[in-house]
Structure formats: C-alpha cells, structure tokens
Amino acid sequence: MSKYKIEQADKDLFAVYQVLYSCADIEMWYDWNSRLNDTKFTDQCFWILYNDSRIGGAIIDNGTVMYPFLISPFVDRTMFWRVLFSCCLDVVQIRGVLSEDVSILLSFGYRLDVTRQIMCCPTDPSITAVLPNGYSLHNLNGSVDSRNLAGTIMNGYNGGIDFEIFGTPGEEDVIKDVERLMQIYSRNNLSIYVFDENEQKIAGLCIAGISENIPLGFAEIGEICVLPDYRNKRLGEFMLKHVRANAHKYTPVVKLCVTVGNYAEKLYRKVGFHPGPRFANMSKRMR
C-alpha cells in the first residue's frame, strides 16, 4: 500500500487551513472572511497525506493545482510536491506558486510562465500632482469611444513585458476588456485620461474604480498606460497621484497588480505603492 495519497476535504475546513498555513496573503485582502471565501469557488479541495498524516493541501482540478500549502509541523516542501505529483500524474498548471517553491518545481520539470504581485497604497487627499503644460485631464466614462481607448492601451503596452509573456491581444479582445472594466467600476468610477491639446489625442489613461466584489471597498487600478511618445513626462506619475488623492473620499486603499519585470513597478513604488508577496504561475514542460 502506498504511503502517499490525497483525500478530498470539506471546503470550509480546507479554507481555514489554507488561510492559516499558506503564510501569504498574495491578494492582499487584509480580511479573514475574504480570504476564506476566496478558496471556496470549488469543492475540489484535497488533503495531501503521507503515512496517513496530513502534510498539506491544495485545490486540484482538471490538471491545475491552486492554493497549495504545508501543514505545520511538516516543513519539507520538496517532499510535499513529490507526494502530490505521485498521486496526481496529470498536473499541467500550477497557480499561485510562492517564491520558495519556484526552484523546487523547476527541478520537477515545470517552467516559470509569469510572476506577479499585488501592490497597495493609502489614499490621501493631501497628495498633489501638477500636469505639464499643454495637457488636460478628463474623466474617462462611457462617452469616450471604446475603440479609441483600446488603441491607446495596445500602443501603450506594445513591446512591454505583458505582451511579451501573454502575446499581443486582438483589438476586439481589448475592447471587451475595457468595456468589462468600465462596467465593473461603474458604481464609483475613478478612471481618467490625459489629453494632448496640441496633437488633439489621448496621451495616457488610467481605468480605475471600486468594484462591488473587492473586499473592504478598496479601489483598484485595472489598466494604466502612457503612449511611447509621451514617456518620461511624468504623466503616469500624475495619473497615479490623482487617483490616489481623488479616491480618498470613497476608500482608504488603492490596489493594482503588476507583472514582475515591468518597468512600471519602479514608478508604482515611487508613488507609494507597497508590494505584497510575489506569486508565480508555472506549467509542465512538454517532452
């Protein structure tokens, strides 16, 4: 009889174990109930057992592993993954991999697809920003053509790390994403764009607001970009500071998600955003 096995878990109990033993609030929820509920979207929750003792757990569904964690006092992360893979031979994707597991999974034949992190900062009405001469600030709402916004985003991200990793999306996909974000933030829309008065074109934009589904009512920046011709003019810094100051009447915190390696991370830190734990998505190398 194998000393390794997995056993389906009650998802409510699993959620408590995962929150306590994962040792990382990768989404920076800052809220017990939100973190519990985050794992309850599926009942495909499993304990990882070694000699009939729980050593950890994970959501395992259709070849994808999510929310892995070790249960104290077990601390051997390599053994944890060896046991999991011995019981689940078809694991292709692993989501939310913590930094300490990346090198271990590389040795098991997985490749690093992308590393990301959530960043947060306080809102603050005392923050000020000055827009350079020749530019004007406008609220971004449904009156602005979605195709124009999509074109700005595609040009602003062109050559960046997200397009490098995920590929360049089609225009229709970007339009759908813009419209989705604008709908999500419609309750409290903080979206803005900067307009070049001389060239009569959008120089940069920031799609932001408060979603009903974001825990604690935090604001979120869904997209921010500046066109290549307008880089190094502090337009991105201006938009971030404006959102941070303007959001204060609604919420104490603004969040965003950044791909590690994005040059914009330096700007986010400069403006006051603090990073949470880094987490990776990995996938099985094909032989």
pLDDT of residue 2: 64
pLDDT of residue 202: 97
Q: Cis peptide before 73, with omega less than 30 degrees from 0?
A: yes
Residue spans of the domains in the chain: they are 4-108, 120-276
What does the pLDDT average to over 79-85? Answer: 95
Phi, psi of 247 (to 5 degrees): -75, -10
Residue type, 148: N
CB atoms within 10 A of CB 106: 13
Select the more confidently predicted residue: 211 or 166: 211
What does the pLDDT average to over 181-198? Answer: 96
Tokens of 18: 């995962």
Which helix H or strand E contains 238, and what residues bound it?
helix 235-246
3, pLDDT greater than 80: yes
* CATH ID of 4-108, from 3.40.720, 3.30.70, 3.40.630, 3.30.1240: 3.40.630
Query: At 31, is the pLDDT very low, low, confident or very high (cuts 50, 70, 90)?
Result: very high
Tokens of 46: 């499993």
CB atoms within 10 A of CB 232: 7
Under CATH, which number does the domain 120-276 receive? 3.40.630.30
Tokens of 120: 């947060």
pLDDT of residue 159: 84
Q: pLDDT by residue (tens digit) across 144-189?
A: 999 999 999 999 998 888 888 888 899 999 999 999 999 999 989 9
What does the pLDDT average to over 57-72? Answer: 97
Kindly give, in sequence order, each residue whose CB lies less than 8 Å from that of residue 105, ignoring residues fewer than 6 positions away: 81, 94, 97, 282
Can you tell me the distance from the alpha carbon of 211 to that of 246, in angstroms, rounded to the nearest whole number? 16
Q: pLDDT by residue (tens digit) across 102-127?
A: 999 999 999 999 999 999 999 999 99
1, pLDDT greater than 60: no
> Does residue 91 contact residue 63 with C-beta atoms inside 8 Å?
yes
> 3-class SS at 271?
helix
Query: At 213, is the pLDDT very low, low, confident or very high (cuts 50, 70, 90)?
Result: confident
287, pLDDT greater than 70: no
What does the pLDDT average to over 132-148? Answer: 93
Rounded to the nearest angstrom, the gap between the alpha carbon of residue 203 and the centroid of all alpha carbons in its chain is 25
What does the pLDDT average to over 48-70? Answer: 96
> What percent of the chain stands above pLDDT 70?
99
> How far from 85 is each of 11, 68, 131, 161, CA to CA, in Å?
21, 12, 54, 31
**How many residues does this entry show for the chain?**
287
Phi, psi of 216 (to 5 degrees): 65, 10
> 3-class SS at 212?
coil
What does the pLDDT average to over 44-66? Answer: 96
pLDDT of residue 167: 86
Q: pLDDT by residue (tens digit) across 225-240?
A: 999 999 999 999 999 9
